């Protein structure tokens, strides 16, 4: 599905962990031959984190500096991020008690435990708030695994949708928070519009051959 490869990354998931899952297009269990990865390197990951609001400008600068001063830190952060991404997708796409799901949850547990060890309570909120990602070198994966754990613990599966691959969608996951729960596409302006155009073209071809 080369047509799903937009140059500008779309933010449609409704949750940071889903935006991470959606950095692959099309999103198909087992992968696809024409799969496109929006975060193929550390530089793209840093830019994506800034665009999605995971980091603010000052934090992004600190992460870039930390990666530049510590050999291998950028690649380690990218590797951890991809592991988290695929583990979350495995859990959400399977929703079962298979060995694959268990392994994915174990990986997330380990990543989350490491992130928790680098987190701290600071004044704020009612009394205190949790600051995740206190180490710039690991700030991105730490925040993403924390978001992933929060999503998996609290997600309303009745709201979780997948942009329909079988109808020309991209397979991206999103939370349907529409009033009547009728959202079908990750983006009506993108996959939804292409599907409508495709159906119209098919009807016209069919009419011309009758």
pLDDT at 2: 37
Burial class (CB in 10 A: 0-12, 13-18, 19+), 64: middle
Q: From residue 42, how far is each of 7, 33, 64, 109, 135 by CA, in Å?
A: 17, 23, 9, 23, 16
C-alpha to C-alpha distance for 145 and 143, rounded to whole angstroms: 6
Q: How confident is the model at residue 79 (pLDDT cuts 50, 70, 90)?
A: very high
On the question of pLDDT at 6 being above 60, the answer is no
Strand 36-37 to 128-131 pairing: unpaired
C-alpha to C-alpha distance for 190 and 10, rounded to whole angstroms: 9
The model's pLDDT over 131-184, given as tens digits with 9 standing for 90+, comes to 999 999 999 999 999 999 999 999 999 999 999 998 888 999 999 999 888 898
**pLDDT (mean) for 198-205:** 56
pLDDT at 203: 55
On the question of pLDDT at 1 being above 70, the answer is no
On the question of pLDDT at 66 being above 60, the answer is yes
CB count within 10 Å of CB 101 equals 17
Q: How confident is the model at residue 41 (pLDDT cuts 50, 70, 90)?
A: very high
Burial class (CB in 10 A: 0-12, 13-18, 19+), 164: middle
Burial class (CB in 10 A: 0-12, 13-18, 19+), 87: buried
Buried b (16+ CB within 10 A) or exposed e, 3-12: ebeeeebbeb
pLDDT at 8: 62
Helices of type H across 133-172 = 139-154
Q: Model pTM?
A: 0.88
**pLDDT (mean) for 112-140:** 95
Torsion of CA 35, 40, 44, 48, to 10 degrees: 50
């Amino acid at each position: 599905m080369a047509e799903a490869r937009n140059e500008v990354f779309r933010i449609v998931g409704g949750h940071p962990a889903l935006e991470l899952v959606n950095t692959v297009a099309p999103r198909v269990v087992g992968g696809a031959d024409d799969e496109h990865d929006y975060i193929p390197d550390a530089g793209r990951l840093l830019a994506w984190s800034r665009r999605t609001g995971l980091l603010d400008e000052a934090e992004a600068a600190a992460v870039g500096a930390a990666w530049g001063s510590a050999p291998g830190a950028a690649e380690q952060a990218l590797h951890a991020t991809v592991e988290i991404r695929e583990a979350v997708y495995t859990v959400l796409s399977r929703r079962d008690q298979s060995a694959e799901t268990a392994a994915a949850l174990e990986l997330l547990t380990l990543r989350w435990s490491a992130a928790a060890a680098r987190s701290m309570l600071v004044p704020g909120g009612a009394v205190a708030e949790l600051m995740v990602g206190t180490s710039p070198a690991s700030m991105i994966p730490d925040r993403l695994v924390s978001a992933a754990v929060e999503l998996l613990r609290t997600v309303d599966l009745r709201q979780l949708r997948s942009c329909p691959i079988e109808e020309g969608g991209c397979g991206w996951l999103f939370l349907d928070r529409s009033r009547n729960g009728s959202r079908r596409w990750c983006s009506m302006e993108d996959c939804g519009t292409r599907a409508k155009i495709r159906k119209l073209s098919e009807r016209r071809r069919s009419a011309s051959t009758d």
